[in-house]
Amino acid sequence: MHRKVMFFIVVCALVLGAAGWALAAEEAATQGAPAAGLPANVKVAIAIGAGFGIAIAAFGGALGQSRGLTSALDGIARNPAASGKIVTPMIIGLAMIESLVIYSLLVSLLLVFKL
């Protein structure tokens, strides 16, 4: 009885989620894009620039963070008792690397809002 109730609830949740997604897609299609004053080729350049900018930044950021994370995990594997002292500088290092990706995200957002 309990499992049937849970199954029913999960199915309802999935159906509502799918319905919400379908409704949102339909609404976005009927809205249409507001026309800015820029010529079309400038808009193309803005779109390509924004997309590639954040993509390359995410790629570079992921590589950098993975190297830092690898070293931190090696250190914890050698010395599991020091994991607290290793994790704190690791988090700080990850946040510093991520801030560079965030700068690129900001530039992409600025570009997208100019569209």
Binding site for another protein (CB under 8 A): 13, 16-17, 20-21, 24, 91-92, 95-96, 98-99, 102-103, 105-106, 109
Closest separation in Å from C-beta 50 to another protein: 14
- 82: amino acid identity, one letter: A
Spatial separation of the C-alpha atoms in residues 100 and 106, rounded to whole Å? 10
- Residue whose CB is less far from another protein, 45 or 87: 87
* Residue 88 identity: T
Is the CB of 13 or the CB of 63 nearer to another protein? Answer: 13
- Alpha carbon distance 104, 98 (integer Å): 10
